[in-house]
């Protein structure tokens, strides 16, 4: 016998309330209740149901409300509300949060990512640094290292592998100065693996200026507010455990690692931020090297500055805000290595061909060493890198195919152009103008590559060591 019409309407109202409460679709309800996904829609279209079926449906809902049937779902919403919520979820995920900032800044970060992934500079740099660190004795309680500017973690991961293999029982402190969220996310995405192999590592990430980052003290009055300082003790023992916990930080840190324009138009941080990351189960071992704000005992055994300034920066800026503060923070026997482009390679040839009348400023390491001698006075520091034998090193665009019977493809040429512009520190407005003017920049890039049998680059380095 069919159920009365008014009873059917009451049942339909009960079904709708049930679906809303349990967060399931009406088709899901039909499948679970009577093994018919179209059950509810048929009733809505005027179909009758038997009293037996109605009782079966009521019994199903009663058992579900008593917990005898487990149903999973989410509250039903209007389509527009559901879409808005889904979009909010998508843009707030770890892989989607991003920082705002100037066009030029973010274009340069894009160029950096192409450069570091298509050249072998990170590998060559890391191997040189690891060899240099082999001669530096750690402090009694561990090895303290500073790296700036933070990039994408390729070189750092390689450096840490070497350092921890030589000193497997020594805690390691690594302080990294970054600028935008992209630096932080790329670097920490790689470095968390190191915590699984070597538990006694402390990572410190900060977005502050060079002179602030070495001391972990805010000195910049242009940005109001004090440092937001976090100590993050990671639970677990696997890389995946650490990855999930670090990824959870990015949504919060993105608000602090915003890139804004300073008084001179240069990109600066929105909020000074310091985050200290270590394994919870290793805290007792690493506690002596966990830094605190302005800790006077913070002394570095090794610092690596990888292209830390532009060639257009004044010597006063380099001495007072980059190199000088780190020299003051070196431990006795500690060393600071500085890497910069030399300017005598095919990359610079491409740039000077495109802009023959545009000055391409460079400052040699000899000028910087001379300025730093004066800046530091007669105190106990020694300098290396005066001769080319050990100061210069070459690296290549290793993803560039060279075939004598085939022309270079457009993607390879564009990547090569990007790398030349980035390495030679060409202003972004000039690079954009050249690209909008036609294909000459690609023709020049192709000609230089073919004439040199590839695209390679020359870096120069020098070191400052504290001797007493």
Amino acid 31: pLDDT = 87
151 phi/psi in degrees, rounded to 5: -125, -90
Which ranges of 314-405 does DSSP label H, i.e. alpha helix?
A: 315-317, 324-329, 346-354, 365-376, 388-391
Residues above pLDDT 90, as percent of the chain: 56
Averaged pLDDT, 12-22: 87
Q: How many Cβ atoms sit within 10 Å of the Cβ of residue 132?
A: 18
Domain locations in the chain?
Answer: 5-76, 104-306, 337-468
pLDDT at 265: 56
Residue 99 pLDDT > 50: no
Neighbouring CB atoms inside 10 A of 301's CB total: 22
Predicted local distance difference test score (pLDDT) of residue 403: 63
Query: Token match 């990170």: residue?
Result: 122
From the list 84, 106, 88, 105, the residue with the least C-alpha distance to 97 is 88
| Cβ proximity of 139 and 175 under 8 Å | no
DSSP annotation of 408: P
Mean pLDDT of the chain: 87
Model pLDDT, residue 67: 76
Contacts of 167 (CB under 8 A, 6+ apart): 138, 143
C-beta separation of 163 from 301 below 8 A: no
Residue 65 has pLDDT above 70, yes or no: yes
CATH class entry, domain 104-306: alpha beta
The predicted model gives 140-149 an average pLDDT of 95
Q: How confident is the model at residue 292 (pLDDT cuts 50, 70, 90)?
A: confident
- pLDDT value of residue 439: 92
- Give the model's pLDDT for residue 200: 96
When pLDDT is cut at 50, 70 and 90, the band that residue 91 belongs to is very low
Give per-residue pLDDT as tens, 337-361.
999 999 899 999 999 999 998 888 8
Report yes or no: 322 and 339 within 8 Å, Cβ to Cβ.
no
Q: pLDDT at position 75, please?
A: 47
* pLDDT > 70? residue 263: no
The three-state secondary structure class of 455 is: coil
pLDDT digits (tens, 9 = 90+) for 388-406: 988 999 999 998 876 666 6
**Cα(176)–Cα(155) distance, integer angstroms:** 12
Per-residue pLDDT tens for 34-58? Answer: 988 889 988 888 788 888 899 999 9
């Amino acid at each position: 016998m069919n159920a009365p019409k008014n009873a059917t309407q009451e049942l339909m109202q009960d079904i709708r309330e049930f679906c809303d409460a349990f967060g399931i679709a009406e088709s899901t309800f039909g499948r679970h209740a009577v093994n018919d996904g179209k059950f509810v829609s048929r009733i809505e279209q005027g179909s009758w149901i038997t009293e037996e079926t109605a009782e079966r449906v009521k019994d199903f809902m009663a058992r579900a409300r008593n917990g005898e049937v487990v149903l999973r779902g989410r509250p039903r919403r209007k389509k527009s509300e559901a879409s808005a919520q889904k979009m909010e979820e998508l843009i707030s995920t770890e892989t989607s949060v991003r920082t705002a900032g100037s066009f030029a800044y973010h274009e340069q970060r894009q160029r950096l990512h192409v450069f570091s992934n298509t050249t072998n500079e990170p590998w060559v740099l890391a191997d040189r640094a690891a060899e240099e660190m082999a001669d530096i004795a750690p402090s009694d309680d561990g090895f303290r290292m500073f790296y700036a500017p933070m990039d994408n973690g390729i070189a750092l991961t390689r450096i840490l592998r070497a350092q921890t293999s030589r000193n497997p029982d020594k805690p390691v402190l690594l302080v990294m100065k970054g600028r935008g969220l992209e630096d932080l996310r790329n670097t920490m995405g790689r470095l968390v693996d190191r915590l699984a192999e070597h538990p006694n590592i402390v990572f410190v990430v900060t977005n502050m200026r060079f002179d602030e980052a070495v001391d972990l003290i805010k000195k910049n009055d242009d940005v109001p507010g004090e440092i937001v300082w976090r100590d993050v003790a990671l639970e677990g023992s696997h890389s995946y455990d650490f990855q999930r916990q670090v990824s959870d930080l990015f949504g919060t840190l993105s608000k602090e690692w915003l890139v804004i324009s300073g008084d001179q138009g240069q990109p600066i941080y929105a909020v000074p931020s310091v985050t200290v990351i270590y394994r919870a189960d290793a805290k007792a071992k690493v506690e002596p090297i966990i830094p605190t704000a302005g800790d006077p005992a913070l002394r570095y055994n090794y610092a690596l500055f990888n292209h830390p300034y532009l060639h257009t920066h004044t010597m006063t800026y380099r001495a007072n805000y980059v190199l000088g503060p780190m020299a003051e923070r070196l431990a006795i026997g500690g060393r600071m290595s500085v890497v910069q482009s030399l300017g005598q390679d095919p990359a610079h040839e491409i740039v000077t061909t495109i802009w023959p009348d545009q000055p391409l400023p460079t400052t040699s390491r000899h000028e910087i060493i001379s300025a730093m001698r004066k800046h530091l006075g007669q105190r106990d520091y020694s300098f290396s890198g005066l001769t080319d034998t050990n100061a210069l090193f070459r690296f290549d665009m290793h993803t560039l195919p060279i075939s004598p019977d085939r022309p270079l493809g457009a993607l390879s040429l564009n990547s090569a152009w990007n790398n030349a512009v980035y390495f030679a520190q060409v202003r972004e407005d000039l690079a954009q103008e050249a690209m909008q003017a036609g294909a000459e920049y690609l023709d020049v890039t192709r000609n230089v590559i073919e004439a040199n049998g590839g695209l390679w680059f020359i870096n120069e380095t020098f070191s400052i060591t504290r001797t007493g």
